């Protein structure tokens, strides 16, 4: 049964919901990956009308997909009218997709996990779709339908866009920052599936956009910045309410998020920051003595922490165990597992009097972009101190780069990580 294409004609909410539907819902005959013939490196399945076909990839190693208006097979000409659901699923080398004027239907998650995709190009005469600088929109350019994963790490949705389609940013593991303009009043469900590196979303509207479904998505490491005095409106709106399945961290514009703390006594970090401020701390600088109680607090009670500066801090023995019962602090040592499994940190400055870093001390930090050392002599490393993303950079004191690069343990940053 063919689902009729519903064109977007007004800014009413019902119309916006319908325009989302036409992008995601195609005929039953297009479901799955069955196909009838191959042509030009692509697969085609015949639609129920017998005269048109749906297209999908033949080989996931494809780099450029140029979809034709028509395709010939066994002496018969077929019109290409749709892209199948999951049609280019996990085509990880695909960089561009050219959509002809004949295509009026695109199946759900047709370009899911296309990690290298940088742009969509749509024929100007296409009656249903258009592109703006490589991003896929509806014809009126007021509904964003699909963002290519490798286009840019930061994206500002054009002003005037009123809706974001379901799955629009799904599998966007390259996206770091997104700005949603005030004009957007509707957001389809699950737009952020697998956006593991998305760190910030700037919502410019004073009224929270309506969410398709019951939640905007599971984004525990992402911060949603909203206009001043609108935090309660957002956090209480359907689809925006915080839950275990809807991890929405909302910060009002202008709210203090940087904290500089000077401790006179170890174990007092919680008191110095204040219980009411724990969900606001994004950048934290600590000076003075710290023990296991302070480390445990950092690990468990600062969910939005991104930048931690311990340059003037002194890690001392004592306090609670910060991870397992055997993980206790030692003077001037980043202990075993101390900063393990803290995935949302972006920058870490280590104490200037540091002498050693233990096993798995700084690992599973897949967003960590930099580690700064202030010691001219490389601290002693355990065998498995680090497990980080390959783009993490090491910063050391001026003139000490060669010393670290030659160290048998530290040289991993010069061979496997961002340093060259």
Over the stretch 55-71, which tens digit does the pLDDT of each residue have? 999 999 999 999 999 99
CB 326 within 8 A of CB 302: no
CA dihedral 270, 275, 279, 282 (to 10 degrees): -40
Average pLDDT over residues 380-392: 88
Return the pLDDT at 9: 30
Question: Do 392 and 371 meet the contact criterion of CB atoms below 8 Å apart?
Answer: yes
Give per-residue pLDDT as tens, 255-271.
Answer: 999 999 999 999 999 99
Q: Using CB atoms within 10 A of its CB, is residue 88 exposed (0-12), middle (13-18) or buried (19+)?
A: buried
**Which secondary structure element, helix H or strand E, spans residue 22, and what is its range?**
helix 13-24
Q: In what order do the strands lie in the sheet with 307-315?
A: 258-262, 283-290, 307-315, 347-349, 370-372, 393-395
Domains, the chain, ranges and CATH? 26-107 (3.80.10.10), 115-253 (3.80.10.10), 258-415 (3.80.10.10)
Question: What is the number of residues in the chain?
Answer: 420
Pairing of strands 200-203, 177-180: parallel
Of 244, 225, 296, the closest CA to residue 266 belongs to 296
Model confidence at 402: pLDDT above 90:
yes
Which pLDDT belongs to residue 220?
78
How would residue 31 be classed by pLDDT, with cut points 50, 70 and 90? very low
Q: What's the angle, vertex CA 193, arms to CA 211 and CA 197, rounded to 5?
A: 115
Instruction: List the structure tokens of 225.
Output: 């910045």
Confidence of residue 190 (pLDDT cuts 50, 70, 90): confident
- Compute the half-sphere exposure of residue 321: CA atoms within 13 Å on the CB side of its CA: 7
Lowest mean pLDDT among 98-107, 173-182, 204-213, 386-395: 386-395
The pLDDT tens digits for 101-160 are: 999 999 999 999 999 999 999 999 999 999 999 999 999 999 999 999 999 999 999 999
Percent residues over pLDDT 70 in the chain: 91
User: Residue 130 forms beta bridges with which residues?
Assistant: 137
- pLDDT tens for 206-238 read 999 999 987 887 787 899 999 999 999 999 999
CA-closest candidate to residue 91, choices 115, 56, 126: 115
Q: What is the mean pLDDT of residues 345-367?
A: 94
The per-residue b/e assignment along 317-349, b for 16 or more CB within 10 angstroms, e otherwise, is eebbebbeeebbbbebbbbbbbbbebebbbbbb
What DSSP assignment string belongs to 127-196?
SSEEEETTEEEETTS-EEEE--TTS-SEEEPPTT--EE-TTTTTT-TT--EEEE-TT--EE-TTTTTT-T
Going from the C-alpha of 91 to that of each of 61, 111, 117, 345, 387, the distances in angstroms are: 6, 8, 9, 30, 27
């Amino acid at each position: 049964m063919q689902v009729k294409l519903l064109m977007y004609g007004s800014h009413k909410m019902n119309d916006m919901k319908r325009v989302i539907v036409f992008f995601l819902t195609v005929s039953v005959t297009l479901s799955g990956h069955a196909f009838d013939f191959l042509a030009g490196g692509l697969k085609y399945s015949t639609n129920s009308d017998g005269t048109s076909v749906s297209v999908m990839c033949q080989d996931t190693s494809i780099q450029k997909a140029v979809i034709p208006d028509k395709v010939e097979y066994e002496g018969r000409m077929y019109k290409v009218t749709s892209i199948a659901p999951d049609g280019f699923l996990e085509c990880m080398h695909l960089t561009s997709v050219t959509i002809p004027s004949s295509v009026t239907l695109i199946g759900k998650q047709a370009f899911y996990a296309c990690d290298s995709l940088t742009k969509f190009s749509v024929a100007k005469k296409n009656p249903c779709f258009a592109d703006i600088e490589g991003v896929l929109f509806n014809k009126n350019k007021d509904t964003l339908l699909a963002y290519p994963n490798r286009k840019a790490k930061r994206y500002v949705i054009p002003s005037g866009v009123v809706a974001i389609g379901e799955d629009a940013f799904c599998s966007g593991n390259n996206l770091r920052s997104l700005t949603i303009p005030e004009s957007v009043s509707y957001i389809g469900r699950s737009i952020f599936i697998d956006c593991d590196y998305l760190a910030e979303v700037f919502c410019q509207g004073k009224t929270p956009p309506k969410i398709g479904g019951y939640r905007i998505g599971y984004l525990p490491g992402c911060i949603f910045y909203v206009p001043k005095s609108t935090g309660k409106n957002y956090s209480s709106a359907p689809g925006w309410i915080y839950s275990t399945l809807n991890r929405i961290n909302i910060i009002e514009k202008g709210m203090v998020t940087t904290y500089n703390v000077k401790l006179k006594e170890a174990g007092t970090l919680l008191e110095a920051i204040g219980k009411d401020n724990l969900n606001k701390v994004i950048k934290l600088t600590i000076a003075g003595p710290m023990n296991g109680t302070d480390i445990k607090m950092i690990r468990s009670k600062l969910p939005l922490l991104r930048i931690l500066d311990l340059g003037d801090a002194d890690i001392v023995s004592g306090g609670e165990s910060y991870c397992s019962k055997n993980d206790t602090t030692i003077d001037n040592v980043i202990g075993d597992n101390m900063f393990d499994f803290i995935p949302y940190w972006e920058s870490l400055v280590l104490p200037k009097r540091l002498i050693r870093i233990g096993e798995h001390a700084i690992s599973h930090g897949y967003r960590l972009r930099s580690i700064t050392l202030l010691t001219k002599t490389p601290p002693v490393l355990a065998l498995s101190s680090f497990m980080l993303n390959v783009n993490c950079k090491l910063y050391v004191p001026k003139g000490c780069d060669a010393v670290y690069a030659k160290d048998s343990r530290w040289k991993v940053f010069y061979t496997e990580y961002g340093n060259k």
